[in-house]
Structures are given as structure tokens and as C-alpha cells.
Structure 1
Amino acid sequence: MKLLHIDASALGAHSVSRGLTAAVVAEFVRNHPGIEVTYRDLHAAPLAPWALPTGEDDPNALEGAKVMDEFLAADVVVVGAPMYNFGISSTLKAWIDRIAVAGKTFRYTASGPEGLAGGKRVIVASSRGGIYAEGSPAAAMDFQEPYLRAVFNFFGITEVEFVRAEGVAMGDDHKANAIGGAIEGIGGLLRKAA
């Protein structure tokens, strides 16, 4: 089994999403001896914005090919996705732009688009300063989770799950409870997979 671990938070050691992805990956490692983990920190080593490659030796094209290979090889993808300004970070968007490639992760057919990257499991560790879950007053401002679900579904990935810590900027007690609830949810995700 191969797992791709993606972090996109700019907060380093203070990041909630990084703590959640680390916990998810640790559970997979504990439950699947021999799992192969590839790690990519999109903040520490950001990808250049997507640009049309100028040739096969273009560094942009070479990095894009490496990113694509990592994604396609993975059975499980664990993505740390902090909510920034109601959406995802620019570093995570740059990574998605590198894997959203016609002929690789999707194709257009006479009957519409078809995902080519199915059979993977994606777990998104989401952190949010406020509360944006369905049914909350701010739910209409959530452009993070619907976008991530839509883009992975577009690639043919139907198993997209979220571990969410919401309201982490609403005080220390609320933050601790949100993180604790998210950590408990991780165990449930892995039991479901067993």
C-alpha cells in the first residue's frame, strides 16, 4: 500500500491541519505495516504556478511529472487543507493544478468528463477558524470542502472523507475540543476501512 501525505498550511508547528494529517498517517502506519509513505510539504517547497511547459527539460514540467507520479501511485492520499479566506491555500491549489491534467486524471468523452484516477481513498484533514459545517449560519461561505470534494470526484475518486476541526480560532477551549473531536474521528475512519 502507498500513501501520499500532503501538507499545505503556512503555520508550521502551530498548524492544526498538520497535526491532523500526522495523526491520520500515524494510524495508517500503525495499522498497515510496510505501508510506503511519500511526504510533500507544499509550504516548505511550494510548486510554481502552473504554466505551459516550454519543453521536456523545463523544470516546471519535470516537477509537474513528479507530482503527478506521486499522486497516481498512491492508494491513499491524506491532504492537510486549512481553510484560508473561505477556500483552500494557494499552495494546495497549485498542487491540484499539477494533477488536474486531461489524459492523466480525467478525460473528456462524447458523454462528458470521465475520471481516470478512481480506486483511491482521499482523506482531507480540514481546519477552520470559524464554523462552516452544513446547517451553520456560515455554511454558504464554505468554498473549501465542496471544491475539494468536486475536484477529487472529477478525477473519479468517490471515496473522499473529511476529518474536520472547526472553530479553532474561537478560544482555547473550543480549539482543544475541536481538535479532540477530529482526532476521535480519525479512529472511526480507519475502523471503517478495516
Structure 2
Amino acid sequence: MKLLQIDSSITAPNSVSRVITAAVVERLRQTHPGLQVIERDIIGAALDHITPVNFPSSHPISALAGDAPEFAAGRATSDAILDEFLAADIVVIGAPMYNFGVPSQLKAWIDRVIVPGKTFSYGPEGVKGLIPGKRVIIAISRGNLYGSDQPTAALEHVETYLRSVFSFVGITNLQFIVAEGVQLGPDARQAALDKALQETSVLKAA
């Protein structure tokens, strides 16, 4: 079984989301002996923003841009990212909230895995997700409180966005572990992290 770990926090080693993703992966190693883990730190090895010349080679927009030799390296990186995602049985993503949304580096990764003909298709009945069997676990950290019972709930565009993205490609086995209020003081940060790690410690094998 293969697990793909994606980290997108810029604040390592002070990152809450990275602590949670590491705990998730360790828990899943316990429940899946022999688990193969592939780590992709998209901050340490940042991705360029997507353009017609660095889309995955299978993307229709890539074909429109032609196949000049200087495009090969960017497309090869994008192809590798897409292949990693498709091959993974489990995907663990660290997604801190920055200015109410996901980090731009995470958006650049998403742009390489939402590919027509690979992860979704269009047809007479609309959009069809092509990868329904994958499990995705997302660790979210938020500085303030954005739960559904909070007056700031309408400003939350991380969980809502990622739920839409992965549902779009057919993923129904989707779980969020949220640590929020982590910028409201040391006690609030620790309480939020403790709660998230408790959720992590009881993750089921499937």
C-alpha cells in the first residue's frame, strides 16, 4: 500500500499542520504494516505556478502550447506529481489557512492533479470523478475560529475548497482533522493541537 504525504506549511519547524500530518502518517504506519510512504514537501521543493507549458503532458492545455524542448522539464515534474497522486492509495495533506484560503503552493500542486481524462471526465451527464477508491486525510490549521457556529464561518475557504476539489474527482473517503485558534495564544494553540492529535491517534485502518 502506498501513502503520499503532501506538506504545504511555510512555518516549519513551527508548523501545526506538519505536526499533524507526521502523526497521521505514523498512525497509518501502525495500522498498515509495510506501508510505503512518499513525501513531497511543496515548500522545500516549491512548484512553479501552472502555465500552458508546464501542465502535465496529458492535459489538453499542454497540447495547445506545443512541445518545444524547453517545456520538457516542467512537464516531466508535473507528470511525476500526477503519477504519484494516481498511484497512492492514501493521500495525507497538510493545509494551513493563509489569508482565508490554501497556500498558493498547494494550489499549484492541485492544478497538476485535477486533469481531464486522468482524474475526472466530462460526458453527456456532466462531470464524472475517475478515482473513487482513494482515501484522503487533510490536516488543517487555522489561526482563528471558523467553525460553522462562529460569526467568521463564511470566511473559511480551506476545508470547503478541498472538499469540493476531491469530491469532484470522485473521492468519498475524505477526512479532515482541524486545529483552529492556533494564533489565539499558547494555551489555545496547545489545546487545538492536542485535540487534533487525539483524533489522529484513533484513525482507523480504512
Partner residue of 2:135? 121
Q: Secondary structure at the match of 1:123?
A: strand
Distance between the aligned counterparts of 1:56 and 1:65, measured in 2?
16
Partner AA of 2:101 in structure 1: G
Aligned partner of residue 66 in structure 1, secondary structure: helix
Q: Counterpart of 1:106?
A: 120
Q: C-alpha separation between the residues in 2 aligned to 1:9 and 1:27?
A: 21
1:180 matched to 2:194: yes
Count of equivalent residues = 192
1:124 partner SS = strand
Q: CA deviation at 1:50?
A: 1.0
Q: Secondary structure of the equivalent of 2:83?
A: helix
What is the CA distance between 1:108 and its match in structure 2?
Answer: 0.4
In 2: Cα distance, 1:150 partner to 1:176 partner: 29
2:74 is aligned to 60
Q: TM-score, normalised by structure 2?
A: 0.90
Match of 2:32 in 1: 32
Residues 27-176 of structure 1 correspond to what in structure 2 (within 5 A)? 27-53=27-53, 54-55=66-67, 58-176=72-190
> SS of the counterpart of 2:82?
helix
TM-score by length of 1: 0.96
Cα distance, 1:31 vs structure 2: 1.7
2:19 aligned partner: 19
Gaps spanning 5+ residues in structure 2: where?
A: 54-65
CA RMSD in angstroms comes to 1.1
- Identity in percent: 48
Q: Deviations 1:59-90 (Å, cap 9, x if unpaired)?
A: 11100100000000001000000000011000
Task: Return structure 1 stretches of 4+ with deviation > 3 angstroms.
Answer: none
Distance 1:135 1:110 in 2: 39
Q: CA deviation at 1:133?
A: 1.2
Q: CA deviation at 1:47?
A: 1.0
Letter in 1 for 2:31: N
- Largest Rg, 1 or 2: 2
Letter in 2 for 1:11: T
1:21 partner amino acid: T
Offset at residue 118 of structure 1 (A): 1.3
Q: CA deviation at 1:6?
A: 0.3
Aligned to 2:59: none
On the 8 A contact 1:55/1:61 being kept in 2, the answer is: no
Q: Which amino acid counterpart does residue 26 of structure 1 have in structure 2? A: E
Q: Which moved more, 1:51-60 or 1:97-106?
A: 51-60
In structure 1, the residue corresponding to 2:3 is in which secondary structure? Answer: strand
Q: How many angstroms apart in 2 are the aligned matches of 1:164 and 1:126?
A: 5
